[in-house]
Amino acid sequence: MNSSGWIQLILYVGVLLAITKPLGLYLCRVLDANGKTFLDPVFKPLERLTYKLIGVDPKQEHDWKRYAAAMLLFSLVSMLFTYAILRLQAMLPLNPQKLGALSEHLAFNTAASFTTNTNWQSYGGEGTMSYLSQMVALTIHNFVSAAVGIGIAAALVRGIARHTAATIGNFWVDLTRVTYYLLLPICAVLALVLVSQGMIQNFKPFDSAALVEPFTVQVPQVDAGGNAVNGPDGKPAMTDQKIDTQTIVQGPMASQVAIKMLGTNGGGYTNANAAQPFENPTPLSNFLEILAIFAIPSALTYYLGRMVKNQGHGWAVWAAMFALFLAGTLVCWHYEAAGNPNFAALGIDPADGNMEGKEVRFGIFNSALFATITTDASCGAVNSMHDSFTPLGGLIPMLNIQLGEVVFGGVGAGLYGMLIYVVIAVFIAGLMVGRTPEYLGKKIEPYDMKMASFVILVLAFSILGFTAWASVSPMGLPDAAGKATDGTNNAGPHGFSEMLYAYSSCTGNNGSAFAGLTANAPWYDTTLGLATLFGRFAMIVPILALAGSLARKKLVAESAGTFPVSGPLFTSLVVGTVLLVGALTFVPALVLGPVVEHFLMHAGKLF
């Protein structure tokens, strides 16, 4: 944990803090159907045209049920759209590498995963997806799933801010305005800056480079029909293959990467995601990518404060998120810098930390920071391989996801997730002082608590339920996934961690992985796809119900016994609630995976 890391951390936090208020004020305008922005001259005509074409009256607001129905129908239709493109990929244009169609289970998994803002990838991007699939089938969800999330957060905030009101906003207006006024312009600027750093943006076929030092490898000999040939000794015959070229991936990457970060989607253009040098060429591009992840979630806390006319509350929520972010970053950084004792025993410089799965240009600090941020939020892009982290370094990303990704969180999803914890926190505070719990002048009643509890339970049920099934079912064994046969999967507690991480990541709509698990098998594709759908929609619907319930309530006057929702006491209570609920739910599973692996690693036990 060197001084350069500390300086970079302070710089990151400083810039994040500096953009929170201006971007938050801008969000207030975007999320108001009548709000005026400096981009009106460009986008107002497009916005009007959109309403006209889709037949929506922007002045009309809806109750929570209509909002939820529109959101669900839109998600279903856009998911089918993506599924259809992926299944028909081979017949569609913009496919210079002549890639084939995706299987049913992979197309379902991918469509569910992108619709839910998860971007879990059971495939390797550059070898599976045509330019059209990347650009249309996937990128559309990067935008609209982010816009949906921000819309839901805005609907919940409206529910909190309003009283005796029947409506919480218009889904179509939120979707349209967030997409045009917020996501599109920021992405356009970000994409160009990323290109200046070395990211590709073109439509040409892959290039082929002539290697400076060609080499020869032994490959199994095949006949004209593609069948393996046996030599005279009866064993498969081998033949020399000269490797003298390197394929250089090309395509429209920057436009997609900008929204994948800003929209906290995280789905990589390439298999190695933001570790692949084109996808994250320099430490500056890395800085901008992680700033893009937290920018909107951080600004949304300011939006919350402004809307409920209690800026102290907004900052108290920000502070709770920041405390959890800082703790996670420091723990992850510490254990990655401390490195793997098995490496030190071999004579590797212990000062270098654990560089397995990390890139030289990012080093230990930026890899640990990226891993913490991408899982605090529901982003899931990675610039290093979490699977190769030390056990406790890798525990942080997993725990971040299991806490519900409320540490700034996904765009919109982070705020509405955190507000569920806030409701639970004021409920606990109310019980402690023996009063009916109140939140910003609203009585929190049994119906509200049922909805909040439901959200917490969905998370636990889906993560732990599916992991348990995968652990005991033959379909969840590594060889059912296909990789144990060649021995590349991880055995022992690390194998369990891979499954736990996979269901955490999908339920939490994160999308990062302990990627040693070969998930592109029918059972994993299907269950992981279902986990993404539960994790998204089984949470959003009760959250919208809560928004509707809060909007209808009457205001009660503040009294001396009202628990203040700003200040350090409130922040500590929220942090405590997040940790308590998360810890009680997931500690037993974490002990079986990363914690036990940590002790076995120090005892020198290998698997």
Partner 1 sequence: MKTIAKDILAALVSTLLFAVVLCGLYPVVIWGLSQLLFPHQANGSLIESADRRILGSEWLGQNFTAAKYFHPRPSAAGANGYDAASSSGSNLGPTSQKLIDAVKQRVADYRKENGLAAEALVPCDAVTSSGSGLDPHISVKNALLQASRVATARGQSMEAVKTAIAKFTDAPSLGILGEPGVNVLKLNLALEGSIRD
Scan residues 192-211 and list those touching partner 1 (CB under 8 A). 192, 195-204, 206-211
Going residue by residue from 10 to 39, which x/- string records binding to partner 1, judged by CB under 8 A?
A: -x----------------------------
Q: Residue 248 interacts with partner 1 (CB under 8 A)? A: yes
Separation of alpha carbons 488 and 476, rounded Å:
16
Q: Residue 388 interacts with partner 1 (CB under 8 A)? A: yes
Q: Residue 355 interacts with partner 1 (CB under 8 A)? A: yes
Q: According to CB under 8 A, which residues from 513 to 552 bind partner 1? A: 514-516
Please identify, using beta-carbon distances, which residue of 275 and 319 lies nearer to partner 1.
275
Q: Which of 217, 212, 190 is closest to 201 using CA atoms?
A: 190
Binding partner 1 (rule: CB under 8 A), the pick from 24, 252, 380, 409 is 252
Binding partner 1 (rule: CB under 8 A), the pick from 37, 130, 179, 400 is 179
The three-class DSSP label of residue 273 is helix
Please identify, using beta-carbon distances, which residue of 388 and 577 lies nearer to partner 1.
388
Going residue by residue from 135 to 164, which x/- string records binding to partner 1, judged by CB under 8 A?
A: xx--xx--xx--------------------
205: Cβ–Cβ under 8 A, 6 or more apart, which residues?
Answer: 96, 97, 250
Q: Residue 353 interacts with partner 1 (CB under 8 A)? A: yes
Q: Which stretch binds partner 1 (CB under 8 A): 232-240, 306-314, 465-473, 490-498?
A: 490-498
Structure tokens at 310: 């209690």
Q: Residue 488 interacts with partner 1 (CB under 8 A)? A: yes
| Residues facing residue 169 across a β-bridge | 62
Please identify, using beta-carbon distances, which residue of 114 and 563 lies nearer to partner 1.
114
Please identify, using beta-carbon distances, which residue of 239 and 342 lies nearer to partner 1.
342
Please identify, using beta-carbon distances, which residue of 134 and 577 lies nearer to partner 1.
134
Binding partner 1 (rule: CB under 8 A), the pick from 383, 510, 512, 585 is 383
Q: Which stretch binds partner 1 (CB under 8 A): 316-324, 485-493, 504-512, 584-592?
A: 485-493
Separation of alpha carbons 201 and 131, rounded Å:
11
Please say whether the beta carbons of 249 and 105 come within 8 A. no
Report in angstroms how near the CB of residue 49 gets to partner 1 at its nearest: 8
With both helix axes pointing from N to C terminus, report the angle between 283-307 and 311-338 in degrees, rounded to the nearest 10: 150
Q: Residue 106 interacts with partner 1 (CB under 8 A)? A: no
Q: Residue 287 interacts with partner 1 (CB under 8 A)? A: yes
Q: Residue 247 interacts with partner 1 (CB under 8 A)? A: yes
Report in angstroms how near the CB of residue 562 gets to partner 1 at its nearest: 39
Separation of alpha carbons 97 and 127, rounded Å:
9
Separation of alpha carbons 583 and 329, rounded Å:
18
The distance between the two most distant Cα atoms of the chain, rounded to a whole number of Å, is: 92
Report in angstroms how near the CB of residue 473 gets to partner 1 at its nearest: 22
Q: Which stretch binds partner 1 (CB under 8 A): 50-58, 294-302, 303-311, 544-552?
A: 50-58
Q: Residue 591 interacts with partner 1 (CB under 8 A)? A: no
Binding partner 1 (rule: CB under 8 A), the pick from 66, 163, 334, 435 is 66
Q: Residue 48 interacts with partner 1 (CB under 8 A)? A: no
Q: Which stretch binds partner 1 (CB under 8 A): 185-193, 471-479, 533-541, 546-554?
A: 185-193
Binding partner 1 (rule: CB under 8 A), the pick from 73, 90, 229, 431 is 73
C-beta contacts of 304-307 below 8 A and 24+ residues apart: 304/157, 304/160, 304/415, 304/419, 305/24, 306/24, 306/25, 306/28, 307/28, 307/157, 307/158, 307/160, 307/161
Structure tokens at 232: 């005279």
Q: According to CB under 8 A, which residues from 392 to 421 bind partner 1? A: none
Separation of alpha carbons 474 and 524, rounded Å:
12
Paired sense of beta strands 238-248 and 438-439, if any: unpaired
Residue with tokens 């490797």: 243
Q: Which stretch binds partner 1 (CB under 8 A): 106-114, 265-273, 434-442, 584-592?
A: 265-273
The three-class DSSP label of residue 253 is coil
Separation of alpha carbons 472 and 133, rounded Å:
36
The number of residues that bind partner 1 (CB under 8 A) is 128
Please say whether the beta carbons of 495 and 478 come within 8 A. yes
Burial of 309 (0-12, 13-18, 19+ CB in 10 A): exposed
Q: According to CB under 8 A, which residues from 303 to 332 bind partner 1? A: none
Q: Residue 382 interacts with partner 1 (CB under 8 A)? A: yes
Please identify, using beta-carbon distances, which residue of 125 and 535 lies nearer to partner 1.
125
Q: Residue 342 interacts with partner 1 (CB under 8 A)? A: yes
Please identify, using beta-carbon distances, which residue of 328 and 363 lies nearer to partner 1.
363
549: Cβ–Cβ under 8 A, 6 or more apart, which residues?
Answer: 159, 445, 447, 448, 451
Burial of 435 (0-12, 13-18, 19+ CB in 10 A): middle
Three-class SS of 126-168: HHHCCHHHHHHHHHHHHHHHHHHHHHHHHHHHHHHHCCCCCCC
Q: Residue 391 interacts with partner 1 (CB under 8 A)? A: yes
Please say whether the beta carbons of 380 and 374 come within 8 A. yes
Please identify, using beta-carbon distances, which residue of 28 and 477 lies nearer to partner 1.
477
Please identify, using beta-carbon distances, which residue of 447 and 607 lies nearer to partner 1.
607
Q: Which stretch binds partner 1 (CB under 8 A): 253-261, 304-312, 324-332, 579-587?
A: 253-261
Q: Residue 187 interacts with partner 1 (CB under 8 A)? A: yes
Report in angstroms how near the CB of residue 139 gets to partner 1 at its nearest: 5
Q: How far apart are the first and last CA of the chain?
A: 29
Q: Residue 184 interacts with partner 1 (CB under 8 A)? A: yes
